[in-house]
Amino acid sequence: MSSAISVRHLTKDFRIGMRGLKLRAVDDLSLEIPRGQVFGLLGPNGCGKSTTLKIVLGLVSATAGEISILGQPSATSAARRRTGFLPEAPYFHKFLTGRELVRYCAQLSGVASADLDAAVEDALGLAAMTEAASRPIGTYSKGMLQRIGFAQAVVHDPELVILDEPTAGVDPVGSAAIGRMIHAMRDKGKTIVLCSHLLGQVEQVCDRVAIMDRGKLVLEGAVDDVLARRDRHVMTIEAMTPASRAAAEAALEAHGAKVTSVTHPRRSLEDLFRELVTGSRDA
Amino acid sequence: MPDMKDSLRRTLWISRVTFLEAVRQRFFAFLLVLGAAMVLSSVSLRVFDFGHGELKFIADFGFGGMFFFGSVLAVVMTAQLFFSEIDNKTALTLLAKPLSRAEFLLGKFFGAWAVLGVFIVVLAGLQGIVLWAREQELIALAEQSGKIPATFSVVGLGQLVLMQWLRLGVVIAIVLAISALARTFLFAVVVGSLAVVAGQLQWIAQDAFLRPTDSPVYAAFLWVSTRLIPNLQQFNLADALVLGSSAVEDGALIAVGLSGLAYLVAYLTVGALIFRRREI
């Protein structure tokens, strides 16, 4: 089976200024994104990740290289029919209600008239936007905008969903909701490509990651593989006394191991926030 | 054929949302109210008729407002509707769907054209009522004085509405072609406005082109100008159509209509070709 996205030797140069100076945004990038996984494309601002996604979607032309989506050349109508996209900081027509927007996007994505109502309600349900769907988009909070953007991206049941900074500007509760939506899509067998510089969130939701810097790919692999330090181990111990600690250290040293640090485990500030702030005020 | 049908549907959905967005803007309501105020005030300002017939003054004043504000609306609203979606990334969301750029551009065109259609029908309808009411008063006076006033033609008003709608369609197509190329809203509005002014003055270039000249460069410039820029004055037939001040042959109307349609299609094609290559 072909990859969800296959990028081969992609290069993109922008011409800037009156003299047409060349700015290389993507430099000979090759990448295979497997199907059925959540793939994180990471990198600092201006590293070329958004440009790469735009080229994949046919919104920007490549200077060189080949791209295919789900085995078809990218930027074709057939490829787009199987792809959903949520741009960074999306903006939608404020006078439409959430339901009207999702319906409009479903129509543009080729959802058959007979399936339209069910598809719209399913997408709204997945994005937890059913209750607010009858309100004009102009009244939505940032988190709700992202969620309605997610709903329009998945309303035509695409095989590949591309999310550009889906949690930018969203509070941790909203972020967690988007994380759940991403997992729900993966559980349905979809491929999700997530472009972000929020590393904590990427670590939580992604199966694989690629890191770009200055237009080049600097690392790619499964999250567990790239993060794990195989020469170090962590043990979590309850009710440890000074005596038991000394005995454990002596036992480990007797077998050639060395304890380098003993600390209390910490939960993340995000976990603490989500624990204290239950539920979303968006709904 | 199913592809063609799908394409038409997508274009229709884009134009529907474009229309809704435009009519909910304050700018549209503002110009509509301003145009209506101009039409209604033409009755009370008819004392300043500069020696022309009353109905002619009322028609000139009211239709003048409709032409002017219609042109402003066509230039500013079209540029705004096109740019806002690119600027705020709504276009990214839409163009990532199985929607071609030509469909997007055509959807914008038909949405804006429909808004201008509403604008013209409302103002022309109002102008028609004003002219008809004043005509009735003048007929009553004429019966007493023995003078015969100019007559107001409803059919002529309908033809004028179609001509003006076509004229504004050409303006929208030109502004879309300019917007497809432009990088800023201001550029699109300024160049679009200049194009409208050039179109209004195109007859001068046509006149000059018909006169003999020794300079081949000047002749070539005039030849290109008269073909690139549509003659927007040819649509201004208010007096002739509405008040019957001079006869307009059906053939002439058809020729003006076909010329307008040819420019409209040509500029839309140019706009679609430019927008196809644009990186957003």
Is the distance from CB of A110 to CB of A155 less than 8 angstroms? no
Is the distance from CB of A89 to CB of A117 less than 8 angstroms? no
How far apart, in whole angstroms, are the C-alpha atoms of residue B33 and residue B237? 24
- A6 bridge partner residues: A32, A68
The CA-based dihedral angle spanning residues B108, B114, B120, B126, taken in that order and rounded to the nearest 10 degrees: -140
Whether B244 has a pLDDT exceeding 90, the answer reads: no
Q: What is the DSSP string of A242-261?
A: HHHHHHHHHHHHHTT-----
User: How much is the average pLDDT of B104-119?
Assistant: 96
Interface contact flag, A61 B279, Cβ < 8 Å:
yes
Q: For residues B227 and A280, which has the higher predicted lDDT (pLDDT)?
A: B227
Domains, chain A, in order of start with CATH, read 5-229 (3.40.50.300)
**β-pairing, A64-69 with A72-73?**
antiparallel
How far apart, in whole angstroms, are the C-alpha atoms of residue A280 and residue A85? 24
How far apart, in whole angstroms, are the C-alpha atoms of residue B181 and residue B169? 19
For Cα atoms B194, B182, B184, give the angle at the middle one, nearest 5 degrees: 95
Out of B6, B88, B100, name the one closest to residue A110 (CB).
B6
Q: For residues B54 and A278, which has the higher predicted lDDT (pLDDT)?
A: B54
How far apart, in whole angstroms, are the C-alpha atoms of residue B44 and residue B38? 10
Q: For residues B192 and B204, which has the higher predicted lDDT (pLDDT)?
A: B192
Out of A77, A91, A105, name the one closest to residue B89 (CB).
A91
Out of A81, A86, A93, name the one closest to residue B90 (CB).
A93
Note the pLDDT of residue B165.
94
Note the pLDDT of residue A16.
80
Looking at this predicted complex, what is its ipTM?
Answer: 0.80
Is the distance from CB of B10 to CB of B99 less than 8 angstroms? yes
Whether B52 has a pLDDT exceeding 80, the answer reads: no
Whether B245 has a pLDDT exceeding 70, the answer reads: no
Whether B41 has a pLDDT exceeding 60, the answer reads: yes
Whether B72 has a pLDDT exceeding 70, the answer reads: yes
Note the pLDDT of residue A281.
47
Low-confidence ranges of chain A (pLDDT < 70): 1, 270, 274, 277-283
Give A-chain residues touching B102 at CB under 8 angstroms.
none
Encode pLDDT of B133-179 as tens digits: 888 887 777 777 666 656 778 888 888 889 999 999 999 999 999 99
Average pLDDT, chain B: 86
pLDDT band, very low/low/confident/very high, at B262 (cuts 50, 70, 90): very high
Give B-chain residues touching A90 at CB under 8 angstroms.
89-90, 93
User: How much is the average pLDDT of B47-75?
Assistant: 80
